[in-house]
Structure 1
Amino acid sequence: MSEYQHRARKRFGQNFLHDAGVIHRILRAIFAREGEHMLEIGPGQGALTEGLLSSGAQLDVIELDRDLVPILQHQFGSNPRFRLNQGDALKFDFNQLQAAPRSLRVVGNLPYNISTPLIFHLLSNAALIRDMHFMLQKEVVERMAAVPGGGDWGRLSIMVQYHCRVEHLFNVGPGAFNPPPKVDSAIVRLVPHEVLPHPAKDHHLLERVVREAFNQRRKTLRNTLKNLLPADAIEAAGVDGSLRPEQLDLAAFVRLADKLAEHPNAD
């Protein structure tokens, strides 16, 4: 049906998933059930949408590209469990979905250019979310799932793991998409913690400490944090100031942020 054809747009970072085997594997990993409230971000041409709806779940989708709206409405609009929200997911108010606490299951093949800010936007609404399954650039998933001590451990790893349990499920090659991207992709599952394992007194201060620390990741903490915390405050937090930031785990960064909360520099 030529009136409903659509070409991927570079400015939206669109790469449409078309490999039936990969689509089935993703849907199996998500395992949507009847009565659940699903949210799909960037449904594109509806590769995952069909399977999510056939589960019996209630499905909201957010699509930025106006040209895709009639295609999606034509395919799925007659289903009473389908609701399309046209707009930018980065600016979307998730409260308007009227989801119960910890009920929203979020799914998305996310454009690489907005994936990190969008995940931080979602994490600010973590109280509404039960879990998230995303297709992302493989190196982004590796950074999210990283452990302390390696080159992938950094701001993204720490701030995502502060809020969520991270599972790198499987990788997806470029051939599964049209047009094929220049990089490998991966599926990640993020499950917000019901109880934070290392709660900070102020998570904005945690973000600040982590950002400062990794601005110059080759330097020691004593040097990278000198504008926030004096050497004795770092030691008082139980942290060795001669270490580099990638050598610290999440709990140590939380202790540094809590020390900053007590310190006059905190404002």
Structure 2
Amino acid sequence: MSYEKLDALPPLREVIANHGLAAQKRLGQNFLLDLNLTRKIARCAGDLSQGTVFEVGPGPGGLTRALLLEGAASVIAIEKDPRCQAALAEINEASEGRLQVIEADALTIDIASMGDAPRRVVANLPYNVATPLLIGWLKQAEAVQSMTLMFQKEVAERIVAAPGESGYSRLSVLSNWRCDTRFELVLPPRAFTPPPKVDSAVVTLIPLAEPRFPCRLEDMETVTAAAFGQRRKMLRRSLKTLGVDTEALLEKTGIDPTARAETLTVEQFAALAREYRALKGA
């Protein structure tokens, strides 16, 4: 596969200047311009030579180029900022048919219905919609082979956190119930234009063939929202917002009523979710 046309594209700083692509805070934009770093991120996603890679928020196309240079067979880039279309069109022309650019809000896109499998998501996510996007992809995890995603470092640490760790949260439970998770690398603010006020980090999530423990996702979402919504309180208090008999819920699952959310395992949350469904239907 020839990459001469991609290698001949102008430096990203020049692209930004030529197309007037100053990053906009309202869109959560922080552009990653170092092609060595973007190629490192692309390699974290593994073999891209089969199926489809989805990228969200490509901006001027730094990660887009890296994905193509690392051998991606097909990239679908979803960008809502119309200012970026001309810059992405230049990459499209150099990609020899391997890039498709869609101007849309990624929150409205059903990736399970697009592209050939295996589907991978590789993205420097806009910070302001990163968590809702991840939750949406977890809901259709059976259609995705892997997700290699950049978040604020604090959010990335939550995704991989284990029970009892400071970052353990609702996002930890949902992610590790549905996927194997792996912390990849940290990127300092200076790697971006403009530099954000916090470090960023890349994590990879590999969806399991089936959830780690049986329960419904909507019930897991409800139970974890209640438990972590008042995380300083004991479960016998925080779970009262569920609207079921809290004492019965905790007794049937064998969970200490005085425990707090951050001490429960993913398996225990799945048990709560199943019992919540049973009590709700009773």
The structure carrying a bigger helix percent of its residues is 2
State TM-score, norm by structure 2.
0.88
Deviations 1:35-59 (A, max 9, x none): 3311111111111111212314111
Number of equivalent positions: 263
Which of 101, 104, 107 is the equivalent residue of 1:90? 107
Q: Paired residue for 1:69?
A: 85
The residue type paired with residue 37 of structure 2 is: V
State TM-score, norm by structure 1.
0.92
The residue type paired with residue 156 of structure 1 is: L
Which of 22, 37, 45 is the equivalent residue of 2:52? 37
Q: Paired residue for 2:12?
A: none
Which of 205, 223, 229 is the equivalent residue of 2:237? 223
Superposed displacement of residue 120, structure 1:
0.8
* Conserved? CA contact 2:53–2:72, under 8 Å: no
Q: Paired residue for 1:80?
A: 97
* Conserved? CA contact 1:77–1:83, under 8 Å: no
Superposed displacement of residue 93, structure 1:
2.0
CA 1:233–1:194: 2 relative to 1, 3 Å:
same
In structure 2, runs of 5+ residues without a counterpart are 1-14
* Conserved? CA contact 2:147–2:204, under 8 Å: yes
Give me the identity figure in percent. 36
Secondary structure of 2:145's partner? strand
Does residue 1:207 correspond to 2:221, yes or no? yes
Deviations 1:169-226 (A, max 9, x none): 11110011011000000010011011222121x2211211111111111111111113
Which of 234, 239, 256 is the equivalent residue of 2:250? 234
Which of 9, 26, 32 is the equivalent residue of 1:11? 26
- Partner Cα separation in structure 1 for residue 164 and residue 123 of structure 2: 30
The residue type paired with residue 232 of structure 2 is: R
CA 1:235–1:30: 2 relative to 1, 3 Å:
same
* Conserved? CA contact 2:53–2:119, under 8 Å: yes
* Conserved? CA contact 2:188–2:200, under 8 Å: yes
The residue type paired with residue 222 of structure 2 is: R
Structure 1 segments of 4+ aligned residues over 3 angstroms from their partners: none
- Aligned-CA RMSD value: 1.7
Q: Paired residue for 1:254?
A: 270
Which of 117, 123, 134 is the equivalent residue of 1:119? 134
Q: Paired residue for 1:187?
A: 202
In structure 1, runs of 5+ residues without a counterpart are none
Secondary structure of 1:114's partner? helix
